[in-house]
Amino acid sequence: MNKRSLGDSYECIALLYLQAEGFEIIERNFRCKMGEIDIIAKKDGYLRFIEVKYRSDKRAGNPEEAVNCKKQRLISRSALYYMMKNGYSTDISCCFDVVAILGNEIRLYENAFEYCNDGKAL
């Protein structure tokens, strides 16, 4: 199984987990010139931008550690573009979540990081 199809299968697992937790899935694999957002959902009045990370074991570290500052900036910029493209007001409540899958364990980090603005214009 190649990396992309492996990633897709774990995104499906995360999607089912999120739905069971009450998330309303809006979009999956949103791509733009700034990057990609794995899952976009709504829950508790928030527009949620969700990154999914998988590791089979801890040799490469915990999956959530892969959502570093650079990745956070890319997700933030992609989220802003998504909101502009889809007519969302910048006043809407949104947050950035991470679903970390380590082996068979799934952990959800709600509001895992804040919006990161690197000062660059879209």
Model's pTM, two decimal places?
0.91
Calculate the average pLDDT of the chain.
Answer: 91
Q: What percent of the chain stands above pLDDT 90? A: 77
Reply yes or no on whether the pLDDT at 58 is more than 90: no
> Contact at 8 Å (CB) between 95 and 45?
no
3-state secondary structure the chain: CCHHHHHHHHHHHHHHHHHHCCCEEEEEEEEECCEEEEEEEEECCEEEEEEEEEECCHHHCCHHHHCCHHHHHHHHHHHHHHHHHCCCCCCCCEEEEEEEEECCEEEEEEEEECCCCCCCCC
> Contact at 8 Å (CB) between 84 and 122?
yes
Q: Which domains does the chain have, with CATH numbers?
A: 3-113 (3.40.1350.10)
So what's the pLDDT on residue 61?
85
Q: Who wins on pLDDT, 61 or 121? A: 61
Which one-letter amino acid corresponds to residue 27?
E
Nearest to 3 by CA among 54, 50, 40, 39: 54
So what's the pLDDT on residue 122?
47
